[in-house]
């Protein structure tokens, strides 16, 4: 990867959490999770990440431990009195279905994203899946970013639609999953859904379809890019796969500094590549021991998977 | 397409039927359908097809009308006293779900495939989804085909597993959908399922995933090819999409005469291309007015859809 040579920093805001995960293969208790954690670990293979989030005093020096030696700046990680956001989820044998056992917002409930001065001119911004009001507050604190990517979820689509609409007007790339795309656009068909979502603001819509891959609008009228997911024999823990995808996707774009259609098409493969690793082990464990060589190998694997010559 | 220049004939056996189809967009009554009809219409864009099936006297000259001017030899289409196979299906707004209103085998119940002398040395053979015993009878009447492809369905997987196993030992390419792959292999994971199916005989397994595209085993250990389905704004009638896929897939291979991995990878795109047209209108209507130019255009559309350069 030629990523290290250039590299535009990404300002990334989202949740840092303690996760507890149970599935048929085992259990992980109170491990580090959260959307911006997965995002940052993935993106930091390509460029510098400037993390903004909040944790409680119980988080202690876990952040330093997780991100040690990585291109992740923790100046924006606030520590406040109280407990860190906690989430517990349980998966059955169908790992596409998960049940949330509890969500305890804790310190996240009062989270006010404060963007450090040194972060404000970040050329790339990623708004993780948090309250749209907070996403707007982040945008109000940055100066003319070159590219803003955002995620959201059904909770905000249903609960705070007006604020979400305001966010979308200021977003270049929307990265959401298929059910969210359908709900937000009120279109069952994903092609129509993507077209509706583009009218809300984003110039590019990336729809994550889990084990069925990714669909992305391209700039040409009616043109799309599509990538299958890697056919995996064992999916161990899908927690964080979507955030990891976003990290690989935005990380690649920021690292190479090129947002052409050709670059976007590679970005969905880098996103898919990172996500395919994330699901191989519990929590962030596989990302922590991932190497650049493995990423390059798997990128080439994706090429063999999808390549065909013209006749 | 350079297909016309060479071209190995395909012997294709399956059902010819009168279909009645109802969906939210309208109704088609007693239109020509059947697995080998869709297969032959698709494959005949690439090479000569030698059709083997049975119809009743009520079919009259419908075969000549449907296949007029196409590269389809009807010497093996038997007409016998009685009524043609009839099927009626109904789709709701979710076109992935269909209900069979009735299946009347009629003359198909006593079908004995008789392979005309002129067909017996066909280098390519496609065994449509019929009783495995009949599939074996076809194989017993042909002389050393170069490639045998076959389809089957849950009815035979559950009802005649032993005879199906005998067929699989003599098949080079198995083309089935995802639920059938899972049922036949007793593996929920499609990567594992494909591996198990290869141990039953076929050197290549092609798994049709409907709107989620196609997964195919490649010759390398653990390697796969994958293609997304074309993102379609309107799916009008999915009847016959799987048979049309098989026709484009086997048709391309036979037409070009090359069964290398590179050719197989193109074949899944040709299959997907033909299937993407079939679903645009009721019954075989879109295939009847399809042109080679449209196929070539859409093949290139697939290329743009899935292409990415290495970094």
- ipTM of predicted complex: 0.88
Q: Do A265 and B307 touch (CB under 8 A)?
A: yes
Confidence (pLDDT) at A2: 40
Q: Do A304 and B223 touch (CB under 8 A)?
A: yes
Name the percent of chain B lying above pLDDT 70.
97
Q: How far apart are CA B233 and CA B121, in angstroms?
A: 43
Q: Do B300 and A311 touch (CB under 8 A)?
A: no
Q: How far apart are CA B3 and CA B19, in angstroms?
A: 31
DSSP B189-246: SHHHHHHHHHHTS-SEEEEE-GGG-EEEE-SSTT-EEEEPPP--S-----TTHHHHHH
Confidence (pLDDT) at A6: 61
B301 forms bridges with which residues in the sheet?
none
Task: Considering only the beta carbons, identify the residue of B189, B215, B265 that sits closest to A307.
Answer: B265
Q: How far apart are CA B274 and CA B45, in angstroms?
A: 10
A98 forms bridges with which residues in the sheet?
A91
Query: What contacts A175, CB < 8 A, 6 or more positions away?
Result: A149, A150, A151, A206, A208, A242, A245, A246, A249, A250
Q: Do A311 and B256 touch (CB under 8 A)?
A: yes
Tokens of A199: 């009218």
Confidence (pLDDT) at A4: 44
Query: What contacts B32, CB < 8 A, 6 or more positions away?
Result: B16, B17, B18, B19, B62, B66, B283, B284
| Tokens 């990334």, located at residue | A12
Chain A neighbors of B209, CB-CB under 8 A: 212
Angstroms from A17 CA to nearest CA on chain B? 31
Confidence (pLDDT) at B5: 45
Chain A neighbors of B191, CB-CB under 8 A: 231-233
Strands A173-177 and A147-150: parallel
- Return the SS3 of A226: strand
Angstroms from A297 CA to nearest CA on chain B? 11
Angstroms from A136 CA to nearest CA on chain B? 32
Residues found in chain A: 311
Residue B38 scores a pLDDT above 70: yes
Confidence (pLDDT) at B6: 61
In the Cβ-directed half-sphere of A228, how many Cα atoms lie within 13 Å?
A: 24
Look up residue A229 and give its DSSP letter: P
Residue B2 scores a pLDDT above 70: no
Give the Å distances, CA to CA, from B302 to A95, A135, A197, A224, B213: 30, 36, 23, 10, 12
Confidence (pLDDT) at A223: 84
| Tokens 């609409």, located at residue | A165
pTM for the model stands at 0.92
Confidence (pLDDT) at B235: 83
pLDDT band at B25 (very low <50, low <70, confident <90, very high): confident
DSSP B231-272: --S-----TTHHHHHHHHHHHHHHHHT--SHHHHHHHHHHHH
Give the Å distances, CA to CA, from B229 to B24, B209, B232, B298: 22, 9, 8, 12
Q: Where are the beta strands (DSSP E) in A24-85?
A: 26-33, 49-56, 72-80
The ranges of chain A with pLDDT < 50 are: 1-5
Q: Do B311 and A266 touch (CB under 8 A)?
A: yes
A56 forms bridges with which residues in the sheet?
A80
Confidence (pLDDT) at B261: 93
What residue of B is the nearest CA neighbor of A224? B305
Residue B4 scores a pLDDT above 60: no
Q: Do B308 and A215 touch (CB under 8 A)?
A: no
What residue of A is the nearest CA neighbor of B227? A306
Number of H helices, E strands in chain B: 11, 13
Query: Averaged over B251-260, what is the pLDDT?
Result: 95
C-beta separation of B100 from B88 below 8 A = yes
What phi and psi, each to the nearest 5 degrees, are found at residue B114? -110, 115
Tokens of A66: 């997780």
Query: Averaged over B120-135, what is the pLDDT?
Result: 96
C-beta separation of A10 from A50 below 8 A = yes
Q: Do A307 and B188 touch (CB under 8 A)?
A: no
Lowest-confidence range among A27-36, A130-139, B60-69, B170-179? B60-69
Tens digit of each residue's pLDDT (9 = 90 or more) over A62-104: 988 999 999 999 999 999 999 999 999 998 877 777 899 999 9
Is A35 buried (19+), middle (13-18) or exposed (0-12) by CB count in 10 A? buried
Confidence (pLDDT) at B1: 41
């Amino acid at each position: 990867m030629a990523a290290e040579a250039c590299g535009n920093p990404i300002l990334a805001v989202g949740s840092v959490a303690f996760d507890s995960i149970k599935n048929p293969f085992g259990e992980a208790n109170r491990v580090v999770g959260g959307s911006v954690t997965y995002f940052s670990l993935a993106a930091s293979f390509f460029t510098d990440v400037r993390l903004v989030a909040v944790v409680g005093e119980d988080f202690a020096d876990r952040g330093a431990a997780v991100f040690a030696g990585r291109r992740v700046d923790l100046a924006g990680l606030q520590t406040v009195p109280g407990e860190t956001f906690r989430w517990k989820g349980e998966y059955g044998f169908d790992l596409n279905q998960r049940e949330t056992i509890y969500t305890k917002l804790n310190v996240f409930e009062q989270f006010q994203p404060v963007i450090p001065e040194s972060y404000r001119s970040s050329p790339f911004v990623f708004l993780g899946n948090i309250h749209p009001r907070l996403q707007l507050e982040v945008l109000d604190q940055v100066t003319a970013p070159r590219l803003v990517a955002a995620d959201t979820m059904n909770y905000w689509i249903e609960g705070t639609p007006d604020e979400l609409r305001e966010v979308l007007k200021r977003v270049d790339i929307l990265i959401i999953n298929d059910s969210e795309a359908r709900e937000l656009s009120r279109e069952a068909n994903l092609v129509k859904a993507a077209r509706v979502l583009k009218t809300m603001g984003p110039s590019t819509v990336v729809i994550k379809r889990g084990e069925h891959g990714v669909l992305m609008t391209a700039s040409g009228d009616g043109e799309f890019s599509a990538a299958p997911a890697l056919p995996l024999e064992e999916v161990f823990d899908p927690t964080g796969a979507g955030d990891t995808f976003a990290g690989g996707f935005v990380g690649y774009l920021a690292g190479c500094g090129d947002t052409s259609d050709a670059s976007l098409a590679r970005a969905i493969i880098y996103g898919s590549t990172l996500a395919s690793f994330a699901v191989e082990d519990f929590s962030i464990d596989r990302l922590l021991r991932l190497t650049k060589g493995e990423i390059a190998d798997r990128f080439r694997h994706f090429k063999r998977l999808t390549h065909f010559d013209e006749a």
